[in-house]
Chains A and B, each alone.
Chain A
């Protein structure tokens, strides 16, 4: 079976297996090496690809929910979308959610995903009370901040390389509305972005869309969107309309779409006092989920997402250098996202560190890889790193320099016999 991540690059021939029961998963794992778990395939590159793939989508049952405390226990294949559908009407939402809800709980833990509130609430693992992990020999380890702590720290953010996360107990967050009060702030350039981010750091949610084509004095022209949960007791979402991209089509369509979306908003709010609006939580958190298969807009060759983080001290200088490089090359997607991160956590391989992160898409084309290497150098010069779940091409050296705790991670893998059993194309490429 041919499988790929969300970027449709690379596409790899894998032997993929579903499982509905733990015993089936254990039996599968006992045959052969080089296994990796595959959730919803929303990681962009080759993190979930290996010769043997364990598809978790059918291991997706709910196990327990405490309506008093908002603690839910579920199997790892369940999607965040299902959790939201079930528990938002009862007044509970995810503590941390990425920009799509169409991912599995297992994937959210393995990538230790972040949302628009990283500066306030940290990564997804902050909501993980405990998890159960299937080890190479098919046995199951309970992991938490009290039990099997190193396994817990390695598994959250560990990209599936420590085993198969079977189920997890999550703390949900109480909310009193399915709506967000949003403020939209136009920023004429990168300096303004940094100033506004600083000013708005008391908002739990924030993200900025940045116009990558703008250069010169407009370099970093952005729309900053900040928000908080409304408190109106309205817990049902309006019916969402769905669009779909039926076939792979040329990428300029996506650029045109995002371009017009950006300009519409930018010129509506420009020069006016901060614009407030009340929007459904889905519109605020998951604008792209409305369009099924939008990845097809990049055409057959696929695309990569380049996401880096730079520490606070070098963020401004580094972002400027990156944006100059990108705008000069004229190859990037029109839109990029820039976000503020709070302090780094204790997991071995979690991506966020205190500073700013930049993410943007590039359609695959021959001259792209040269540009990405130039960007890599800038990231390293500024002591930053790249996000594994978005990556399909980073070098071993780039990884090891960016993630100094890789050695502890690797020692743990050796200790538990994970190095032969659990590998992805990515882990082999980056020397894990």
Chain B
């Protein structure tokens, strides 16, 4: 039986993932960590009532780097699986003129992830066990004018997770990189998403759970994003730069 900790647990995808794992009866405890404690406690309660497993709610802020070691130290029991779900889409337009916004996007998606995952990795490496599931994005596969600051921070995260997987392999610690396409969550409620391409948080959670069972290294979710991104990545730069994406 495994203990699961989710970082950025108030995310819709995180909650769906928590439910999926709890439903599987493969975990013995769940720790939800995020900033908004009011919401987090309600979410924790909900899963506890639904699946009859112990669930804790703990405050966690990805941007408060100095707190991360302490945060991890007080986790009891220590996790066997960590899901990194926090992320920030931010406002691309605004980020172009305000470095503050750009910085916030980069830190929320990348610096914060590095800071906490290094703490987790050190513990997993020592214990010679553990699984890290990092949620990045297909937006990191190629920069587009509509969200390249978010995309760049996710590209960094994807590269980071790949390196981490490489480093931790010899310690029997596994890293799963998740690259979602469009998901219908509060992150992009203001956007018009193409219905056929858009997954529900439950779809994504299912894919994550299946990939976890099969010890996959990297997945696209939904599956067809692998092919969409292959096409997008193959467009030669001279053409790509003229496109309005």
Q: Residues of A with Cβ closer than 8 Å to B?
A: 18, 20-21, 23, 61-65, 72, 75, 86
Residues in A neighbouring B50, C-beta threshold 8 A: 62, 86
Residue among A21, A62, A63, A65 with the highest chain B CB neighbour number at 10 A: A62
The smallest beta-carbon distance between A115 and chain B, in angstroms, is 24
Q: How far apart are the CA atoms of A21 and B186 in the complex, in Å?
A: 14
Given contacts A61-B45, A75-B42, 4 further A-B contacts (CB under 8 A): A62-B50, A63-B42, A63-B46, A86-B50
- Which of A18, A21, A65 is within 8 Å of B38, CB to CB? A21
Chain B's closest residue to A20 (CB) is B39
Residues in A neighbouring B49, C-beta threshold 8 A: 62-65, 72
- 3 closest Cβ pairs, A-B complex: A61-B46, A62-B49, A62-B46
Residues in B neighbouring A18, C-beta threshold 8 A: 189
List, sorted by A's number, 14 A–B pairs whose CB atoms are closer than 8 Å: A18-B189, A20-B39, A21-B38, A21-B39, A23-B38, A61-B45, A61-B46, A62-B45, A62-B49, A63-B45, A64-B45, A64-B49, A65-B49, A75-B42
Chain B's closest residue to A73 (CB) is B49
The smallest beta-carbon distance between A69 and chain B, in angstroms, is 14
Q: Does B217 contact A (CB under 8 A)?
A: no
Q: Count of chain B residues with Cβ under 8 Å from any Cβ of A?
A: 10
Residues in B neighbouring A61, C-beta threshold 8 A: 42-43, 45-46
The smallest beta-carbon distance between B42 and chain A, in angstroms, is 5
Q: Is the interface of A mostly helix, strand, loop or mixed?
A: strand
The smallest beta-carbon distance between B201 and chain A, in angstroms, is 12
Q: How far apart are the CA atoms of A75 and B42 in the complex, in Å?
A: 10
Q: How far apart are the CA atoms of A61 and B19 in the complex, in Å?
A: 12
The smallest beta-carbon distance between A26 and chain B, in angstroms, is 13
Residues in A neighbouring B45, C-beta threshold 8 A: 61-64
Residue among B46, B49, B50, B189 with the highest chain A CB neighbour number at 10 A: B49
Q: How far apart are the CA atoms of A367 and B43 in the complex, in Å?
A: 51
Q: How far apart are the CA atoms of A143 and B143 in the complex, in Å?
A: 54
Contact digits for B44-71, partner A, Cβ 8 Å, 1 yes 0 no = 0110011000000000000000000000
The smallest beta-carbon distance between B183 and chain A, in angstroms, is 15
Q: How far apart are the CA atoms of A64 and B52 in the complex, in Å?
A: 11
Q: Which of B25-52 contact A (CB under 8 A)?
A: 38-39, 42-43, 45-46, 49-50
The smallest beta-carbon distance between B195 and chain A, in angstroms, is 12
Chain B's closest residue to A67 (CB) is B52
Chain B's closest residue to A85 (CB) is B50
Residues in B neighbouring A65, C-beta threshold 8 A: 49
Q: How far apart are the CA atoms of A72 and B46 in the complex, in Å?
A: 11
Chain B's closest residue to A64 (CB) is B49
Chain A's closest residue to B15 (CB) is A61
Q: How far apart are the CA atoms of A288 and B115 in the complex, in Å?
A: 52
Residues in A neighbouring B39, C-beta threshold 8 A: 20-21
Chain A's closest residue to B189 (CB) is A18
Q: How far apart are the CA atoms of A75 and B38 in the complex, in Å?
A: 14
The smallest beta-carbon distance between B4 and chain A, in angstroms, is 19
Residues in B neighbouring A64, C-beta threshold 8 A: 45, 49
The smallest beta-carbon distance between A183 and chain B, in angstroms, is 35
The smallest beta-carbon distance between A4 and chain B, in angstroms, is 19
Contact digits for B99-125, partner A, Cβ 8 Å, 1 yes 0 no = 000000000000000000000000000
Q: How far apart are the CA atoms of A293 and B191 in the complex, in Å?
A: 25
Residues in B neighbouring A62, C-beta threshold 8 A: 45-46, 49-50
Q: How far apart are the CA atoms of A86 and B49 in the complex, in Å?
A: 9
Chain A's closest residue to B47 (CB) is A62
Q: How far apart are the CA atoms of A62 and B45 in the complex, in Å?
A: 7
Residue among B42, B43, B189 with the highest chain A CB neighbour number at 10 A: B42
Contact digits for B162-206, partner A, Cβ 8 Å, 1 yes 0 no = 000000000000000000000000100100000000000000000
Q: How far apart are the CA atoms of A72 and B49 in the complex, in Å?
A: 9
Q: How far apart are the CA atoms of A23 and B38 in the complex, in Å?
A: 10
Q: How far apart are the CA atoms of A382 and B42 in the complex, in Å?
A: 49
Chain B's closest residue to A62 (CB) is B49
Residues in B neighbouring A23, C-beta threshold 8 A: 38
Residues in B neighbouring A63, C-beta threshold 8 A: 42, 45-46, 49
Chain A's closest residue to B46 (CB) is A61
Residue among A18, A21, A61 with the highest chain B CB neighbour number at 10 A: A61
The smallest beta-carbon distance between B74 and chain A, in angstroms, is 25
Residues in A neighbouring B42, C-beta threshold 8 A: 61, 63, 75
The smallest beta-carbon distance between A37 and chain B, in angstroms, is 19
Q: How far apart are the CA atoms of A63 and B46 in the complex, in Å?
A: 6
Chain A's closest residue to B48 (CB) is A62
Q: How far apart are the CA atoms of A62 and B50 in the complex, in Å?
A: 7
The smallest beta-carbon distance between A87 and chain B, in angstroms, is 10
Residues in B neighbouring A72, C-beta threshold 8 A: 49
